[in-house]
Structure 1
Amino acid sequence: MYQVLEVTPPIKSSPDKFYDFFKYHFSDLITIFPASFKSVKILEGEEGKVGCVKLWNYVIGGISMMITLRTEAINDAERSITYKALDGDLIKLYKVFQFTITPGNGVAKWTIEYEKTSELVPPPEIYGVFSIDITEVVDLYLLTH
């Protein structure tokens, strides 16, 4: 059974710029947020297109992690992008883990859908905090570039 975690951190940059960043320049996180994002490699597909698969190496809570993410859905009208975890460290904890980013006026809504592998697995609240950190870094970058 899927569970949902939502966070809506504030943004000062335009929703269109924020959306375009995650659609076309998501990989730039390794440049603008090197403390957390170590590497990214496109395994298949094309940036900004549904079906693009990337291998990410990142650090969360002081732990190095690996994840393979696929762009599941892009909705230009609603300015929303959904990414789904296909493989990696998260899949050991969650049978399903996907997140949708939907920037609006003054906020960036992150919706994390997940299904735990067992009742002993905690909710992915650390990823809610991580989404807020990512939002702050991207927003500041977009305001200065």
Structure 2
Amino acid sequence: MAATAAEMISGKLEAEVELHCSPAKFYDMVKNSVHDLPSHSPTHVQAVQVHEGDWDAHGTVKFWIYTCEGKLEVFKERVEYDDAKKTVKLNGLEGDVMKLYKV
């Protein structure tokens, strides 16, 4: 039996995004203000909730409710912050995106 494309995809997913602010300001927003995202983009993100931990703590588990191609979806992630490098690593735990990508 042949594997589907979703079954064959595994590894690391990276994206490059053009920002209209400084990298430091974006990092600060992701780490300290992501809970405000639904008020800035309610058609795309309906809620971001802390499931375990604190908003800006390394290892916090967050639960997202968002819209993708007109469909309401969910995503649960564990977040890792590196303040020295100003990087954020999102480890997917469960949710609709897992139907497309292996972790």
Partner of 1:95: 102
Between Structure 1 and Structure 2, the one with more helix by share is: 1
**What SS is found at the alignment partner of 1:43?**
strand
What is aligned with 1:143?
Answer: none
* Structure 1 position 53 matched with structure 2 position 52: no
- Following superposition, the deviation at residue 61 of structure 1 comes to 1.2
Are 1:82 and 2:89 an aligned pair? yes
Question: CA shift at 1:4, angstroms?
Answer: 4.2
Counterpart in the other structure of 2:49:
41
CA distance in 2, matches of 1:5, 1:93: 12
Q: Structure 1: where are the runs of 5+ without partners?
A: 97-145
SS of the residue corresponding to residue 95 of structure 1 reads coil
Greater relative contact order (Cα < 8 A, sep 6+): 1
CA RMSD of aligned residues (A): 1.7
Structure 2: tracts of 5 or more residues without a match: 1-8
1-structure distance, mates of 2:12, 2:93: 18
Q: 1:15 aligns with which of 6, 12, 23?
A: 23
Q: Which has the higher strand share?
A: 1
Whether the 8 Å CA contact 2:31–2:55 is kept in 1: the answer is yes
Q: How high is the TM-score relative to the length of structure 2? A: 0.80
CA displacement, residues 41-73 of structure 1 (integer Å, 9 cap, x when unaligned):
2111011111111111100111110111111x2
Match of 1:66 in 2: 74
If the length of structure 1 is used for normalisation, what is the TM-score?
A: 0.59
2:53 partner amino acid: G
CA offsets 1:107-138 (integer angstroms, 9 cap, x no match) = xxxxxxxxxxxxxxxxxxxxxxxxxxxxxxxx
Q: 3-state DSSP class of the match of 1:2?
A: coil
- Per the alignment, do residues 60 and 84 of structure 1 end up closer, same or farther by CA in structure 2, a change over 3 Å counting? same
